[in-house]
Amino acid sequence: MLRLVRRGFFVICLFFFTVVCWRLLTASHNKQLSVPYAAFLQALDGGKIQKTSIYMGYTLADLKFVAKDSSEAEVTDVSTKDLPSLIKRMIDDGVSVEFASGRKANTSELLLNLTPILFLLVAVGYFYFVGFRKKA
């Protein structure tokens, strides 16, 4: 019975290692350029912004924008209190403004993110119930 539990634990650890390697290899490496809010305002004043997408949060929003040279960047953590005046300013400057819904995590992504926690619980359970019982 103990040998079966140890093999099962080994298989679970091997599965965990496989999932971690898969996540590292398939992670998106094309992160967008992050720009400070002050630099975004300077680009807006200079007429360099073509289109802006606003991802609303409760107190903060994220802005993803396309410059007139077709480069894309994002501004994170913009206060929602500043948004009404910023939106008016962008519309007055001829910038296309759109609101986008926040990205929801799908079930498989949630399970992959919870996997390390579950394996930690399994390891603690294994060492508590199997490792300490053998010595006693």
Q: Does residue 73 belong to any structural domain of this protein?
A: yes
Query: Is residue 59 assigned to a domain?
Result: yes
Is there a domain that residue 10 lies in? no
Is 136 within the bounds of a domain?
A: no
Residue 78 placed within a domain: yes
Residue 27, SS3? Answer: coil
Q: What is the span of the domain harbouring residue 99?
A: 31-103
- Assigned domain for 118 exists: no
- Mapping DSSP to helix (H, G, I), strand (E, B) and coil, where does residue 82 land? coil
Question: What is the maximum span of the chain, computed from C-alpha positions, in angstroms?
Answer: 76
Mean pLDDT of the chain: 79
Residue with the bigger pLDDT between 121 and 132: it is 121
Q: What is the pLDDT of residues 55-102, one digit of tens each?
A: 888 888 888 999 888 888 888 788 889 899 999 999 999 999 998 876
* 85 domain-assigned: yes
In the chain, the N- to C-terminal Cα span, in Å, equals 17
- d(C-alpha 53, C-alpha 12), whole Å: 42
- pLDDT confidence of residue 121: 75
CATH code at 53? 3.30.720.210
User: Token pair for residue 11?
Assistant: 């298989």
**Number of structural domains in the chain:** 1
